[in-house]
Amino acid sequence: MSREWPLWEVFIRTKGGLSHRHAGSVHAPDPELAMRHARDTYTRRMEGVSLWVVRSSDIVASDPAQDGPMFEPAEGKIYRHPTFYEIPDVVKHI
């Protein structure tokens, strides 16, 4: 077994109502310390109100070599964008 601590990805909710967003990563030996390290590394300046940490190795990522078949078919299909609706000014975060 490696002596290196495993890597954890850190997600921060900046305020109530918003989604958690990826902020970075930390090394830590276990989930509890990963949470402490995330708090101490990424929320020192009031960046968030909620934290998620997840082991980097548990993330299923798309294969960069498959970018073509994965993402290019979505190009040029503007009818999938809801740009034909007017959004009232009072609606935030959309």
Partner 1 sequence: MQAQSSIKSDAHLPAQWHPALFDYLLRLGDDSLILGQRLTEWCGHAPALEVDLSLANIGLDLIGQATLFLELAGEVEGKGRNGDRLAFHRDVLAFRNCLLVEQPNGDFAQTMARQLLFSTYSHALFEGLCQSAEPRIAEIAAKAVKEVRYHAELAADWVIRLGDGTEDSSTRMIDGLDWHWRFVEELFEVDALEQPLVEAGIAVDRTQLRAAFDTRIAAVLTEATLPLPVYPRGIKGGRTGHHSEHLGHLLAVMQYLPRSYPDAVW
The smaller minimum CB distance to partner 1, of residues 32 and 67, is found at 32
The smaller minimum CB distance to partner 1, of residues 4 and 58, is found at 4
Which residues here bind partner 1, judged by CB under 8 A? Answer: 5, 26-30, 32-33, 36-37, 40-41, 44
Residue-by-residue DSSP string for 27-91: E-SSHHHHHHHHHHHH-TTS--SEEEEEEGGG-----GGGHHHHHGGGTT-GGGS-TTSPPPTT-
Least distance from partner 1 to the Cβ atom of residue 63, Å: 30
The smaller minimum CB distance to partner 1, of residues 20 and 33, is found at 33
Cβ pair 38, 53 in contact under 8 A: yes
Least distance from partner 1 to the Cβ atom of residue 45, Å: 11
Least distance from partner 1 to the Cβ atom of residue 41, Å: 5
Q: Which two tokens stand for residue 60?
A: 């299923």
CA 51, chain centre distance (Å) = 11
The smaller minimum CB distance to partner 1, of residues 20 and 36, is found at 36
